[in-house]
Amino acid sequence: MTRSRVRLVRQTEVAECGLASLTMVANFYGFDVDLGTMRRRYSPSMRGAPLRALINLADQIGLTPRAVKLPLEELGNLHMPAVLHWDMNHYVVIEAIKGGKALIHNPDGRSNWLSLSEVSDHFTGVALELRPSNDFNRQSLRERLHLSQLWQSMTGLKRALAQVLLLSVVLQAFVLASPYYMQVAIDSALPALDGDLLTVLALGFGLFTAINVVASLLRSFVLLNAGTSVGYALATNIARRLFRLPIEWFEKRHTGDILSRFQSIVPIQNLLTQGAVAALVDGIMAIFTLAVMFYYSALLAFIAIIAFALYAVARFVTFSFQREAQEASIITSGKEQTTLIESLRGMVTLRLFGRESLRHALWQTRLTDSVNANVRLSRIGIWQNTANLLIFGLENIIAIWLAIGFVIEGAGFSVGMVFAYMAYKNQFIGKSAALIDQAIQFKMLSLHLERLSDIALTDEDRSFTVGSDAATELTGKIALKDVYYRYSPSDPMVLNGVDLSIEAGEHVAITGPSGGGKSTLLKIMLGLVEPEAGEILIDGIPLHRFGYKSFHRQIAAVLQEDSLFAGSLADNIALFDDEVDMERVVRAAVAASIHEDIARMPMQYESLIGDMGSTLSGGQKQRVLLARALYRAPKVLLMDEGTAHLDVKHEAVVNAAIGAMGITRIIIAHRQETIAAADRILVMQDGKLHSDTATPPDPAYTTVPA
């Protein structure tokens, strides 16, 4: 089979296979762009991209799309590369068909030649042909994260590297001198049977060895300290950026994939501390030893250079395969970790439904993919090592044959010179091969930087970059003016011109059918999600001018996806404040009607809650979350089904306690008791808010049977 001309682009987000497929085709035609840039320009929907959305995106890129429906046997008539609809919910790219097999590039997997019978199991019969239009612009829009961007803020790195370099030079001086010791001992001391000379040589090189050991010890400690500080600085910088990314970024990615991207710090750290110095020292040593080799014999040196060149060609020819295999190994490992994490989190559900075996089978499939990817990577390493042994093994045989021949012919080559030359030659081969290996690792660094760029180059959440951070006093008045929102440009509007005005201290309930946009509306009011159009006013001031941080400090929320953290109940209610105010903790717990439950626990407020609140019931967990919100003494409280797990008695107590606080309350609810306690009821319908007097709530979704 021929080598692929389409470069595989793997999807990062859960539902961007269509965008990744378009990126592959665009790259094929000369529009050099990475998936991150495409995502920032043409944001895909979290809910996937229908064919019409792909057609619109292709048109924006400058590709002429043509959707076709065809049977499998006519697949070869497609203009390739083309996008295929796959498994009813996925897109792949087909590049060629040869010998009854199709070259398929799967954004969620790897490039592979599949038999047409295998293609038939996945292909839905719908394809999208893509050709460059007249205004198609062949350009490069690839945004890359550069290594220099990572070390600019580090302190002490240059000094540490200079120390390592100096100590490495001392070590290499010993390496250069050692072969000469052998030559003098064999050619001078041995023929003359001069024991005194041999003793002097031994003492001199023994002292040199002691210096070498001390230098090696110091170098190891410097590398340890430098590696630790660099790794710590890299990890904290990337983690700081990670924690400041928009909420939507996390919603579109799997946990295992995020962790695998974060782990790309490790190879970067190693190359910054050890690899850079090693490459410089190996390069210098290779030049020095090569010069000494030419001094002994130009012919033998040229043979070593030829072997070095052949090894370099072998490594660089296999680099693209190695990079692809390395990327597949990282991605499949991330998927396996994601499946394992999700399975552990959902163990109760799996146990109740008896799906442990099925979930284990799914994890085993992910593990198999990861193992196979590692095997492919290891196979490439085996072939590279084989090339190393073959090339340098043959070079060694030829060098020994020629060197001993020089001695036999009396061509000015002594036995000691043979030993010395072979030692220098082995050093040259070792250093030059290591230099090539380091060069490959530096090229491989682009893979890790590309994966980290998804974190480092994504814009921070606007709450960190927009508006004043001054402590503007909040009274609690919130207004929305003509707010529109949809999940992507290809999706219908979820919020379609929402207007809302809530006075300070007012209690407003929002209800409506599930999936109608109520939770999205709440996130927009919280400043977590940016509307496509419209304005959010806080006390009559646009939210971006009021200041996101200032607003967040004075409000609190209880959302459906809220979670607790491992620690004590007091820690969770105070959300790990540096100095926990226990009086406020107790007051918040009393208001949330959880104090009595806590008082009955053996360790009371110091009781540990387990992983994500696993030791608490659903109602207890919800009341702890509510206590956490009330601990802040907010001016505005927003709740998304915040009392859904409470019984009527506890809910009445909670509502009375919060009502006595006189704060603005905005709740999303379906329970009739919760809705009835509000001052005003609004119904979300068709993307708009209606007063309950105009559109009465439907009992089907506003009441819960007793």
The residue count of the chain comes to 706
Q: Is residue 164 predicted with pLDDT exceeding 80?
A: no
Asked if residue 124 belongs to a domain, the reply is yes
Same domain, 379 and 478: no
What CATH number is associated with residue 292?
1.20.1560.10
Same domain, 634 and 680: yes
Same domain, 71 and 203: no
Q: Which amino acid is at 375?
A: V
The residue behind tokens 């090569």 is 290
Question: What pLDDT is attached to residue 310?
Answer: 93
Q: Is residue 521 predicted with pLDDT exceeding 50?
A: yes
- Using CA atoms, how far apart are residues 337 and 354, in angstroms rounded to an integer? 22
- Is residue 474 classed as helix, strand or coil in its secondary structure? coil
DSSP H stretches of helix in 245-297: 247-251, 255-262, 265-270, 276-296
The proportion of the chain whose per-residue pLDDT surpasses 90, expressed as a percent, equals: 7
The string of pLDDT tens digits covering residues 56-95 is 888 888 889 999 998 888 888 889 999 999 988 889 999 9
17 as an active site residue: the answer is yes
Q: Is residue 696 predicted with pLDDT exceeding 70?
A: no
The string of pLDDT tens digits covering residues 316-368 is 999 888 888 888 888 888 888 888 888 888 887 888 888 888 889 989 998 99
- Using CA atoms, how far apart are residues 216 and 170, in angstroms rounded to an integer? 9
Asked if residue 703 belongs to a domain, the reply is no
What CATH number is associated with residue 631?
3.40.50.300
Mean pLDDT of 142-152: 71
- Looking only at the bridges linking them, the beta strands covering 123-132 and 541-542 are unpaired
- Using CA atoms, how far apart are residues 526 and 112, in angstroms rounded to an integer? 46
What CATH number is associated with residue 55?
3.90.70.10
Dihedral-angle region of residue 337 (phi above 0 means left; psi in -120 to 50 means alpha; beta otherwise): alpha
Q: Half-sphere exposure (CA, 13 Å, Cβ side) for 705?
A: 0
Asked if residue 159 belongs to a domain, the reply is yes
Question: What pLDDT is attached to residue 702?
Answer: 38
- Using CA atoms, how far apart are residues 423 and 490, in angstroms rounded to an integer? 68
Question: What pLDDT is attached to residue 404?
Answer: 85
Q: Is residue 698 predicted with pLDDT exceeding 60?
A: no
- Using CA atoms, how far apart are residues 424 and 300, in angstroms rounded to an integer? 11
Structural domain that includes position 33? 16-132
Asked if residue 452 belongs to a domain, the reply is yes
DSSP H stretches of helix in 504-637: 518-526, 543-546, 548-553, 569-573, 582-591, 595-599, 618-631
Question: What pLDDT is attached to residue 105?
Answer: 92
Asked if residue 389 belongs to a domain, the reply is yes
Same domain, 240 and 256: yes
Asked if residue 34 belongs to a domain, the reply is yes
The residue behind tokens 């993919």 is 369
Q: Is residue 699 predicted with pLDDT exceeding 50?
A: no
Element (H, E) at 426: helix 415-456
Please say whether the beta carbons of 208 and 216 come within 8 A.
Answer: no
Question: What pLDDT is attached to residue 390?
Answer: 92
Q: Structure pTM?
A: 0.73
Same domain, 379 and 451: yes
Asked if residue 5 belongs to a domain, the reply is no
Question: What pLDDT is attached to residue 215?
Answer: 64
Tell me the DSSP string of 220-246.
HHHHHHHHHHHHHHHHHHHHHHHHTS-
Same domain, 160 and 86: no
Q: Is residue 223 predicted with pLDDT exceeding 50?
A: yes
Question: What pLDDT is attached to residue 194?
Answer: 64
Domain count, the chain: 3
Instruction: Choose, from 6, 8, 9, 17, the residue flagged as catalytic.
Output: 17
Same domain, 374 and 243: yes
Same domain, 91 and 161: no
Mean pLDDT of 132-152: 76
- Using CA atoms, how far apart are residues 641 and 610, in angstroms rounded to an integer? 23
User: Which residue, of 427, 457, 487, is where some domain finishes?
Assistant: 457
- Using CA atoms, how far apart are residues 561 and 563, in angstroms rounded to an integer? 6
Phi first, then psi, for residue 441 (nearest 5°) are -65, -40
Helices 157-184 and 195-243 cross at an angle (nearest 10°) of: 160
Same domain, 376 and 314: yes
- Using CA atoms, how far apart are residues 368 and 333, in angstroms rounded to an integer? 10
Q: Is 139 exposed, middle or buried (0-12, 13-18, 19+ CB in 10 A)?
A: exposed
Question: What pLDDT is attached to residue 1?
Answer: 45
User: Which residue, of 457, 478, 508, is where some domain finishes?
Assistant: 457
Same domain, 532 and 629: yes
Question: What pLDDT is attached to residue 379?
Answer: 92
Sequence-distant contacts of 304-311: CB under 8 A, at least 24 apart: 304/395, 304/399, 304/425, 304/428, 304/429, 306/395, 307/391, 307/392, 307/394, 307/395, 307/429, 308/428, 308/429, 308/432, 308/433, 308/436, 310/391, 311/387, 311/388, 311/391, 311/392, 311/432, 311/433, 311/436
Asked if residue 698 belongs to a domain, the reply is no
Same domain, 77 and 127: yes
Q: Is residue 706 predicted with pLDDT exceeding 60?
A: no
- Using CA atoms, how far apart are residues 55 and 65, in angstroms rounded to an integer? 6
Phi first, then psi, for residue 412 (nearest 5°) are 80, 15
Element (H, E) at 683: strand 680-685
Greatest mean pLDDT among 131-145, 213-227, 275-289, 628-642 lies in 628-642
The string of pLDDT tens digits covering residues 550-580 is 888 888 888 887 888 888 888 888 888 888 8
Please say whether the beta carbons of 498 and 687 come within 8 A.
Answer: yes
The string of pLDDT tens digits covering residues 542-552 is 888 888 888 88
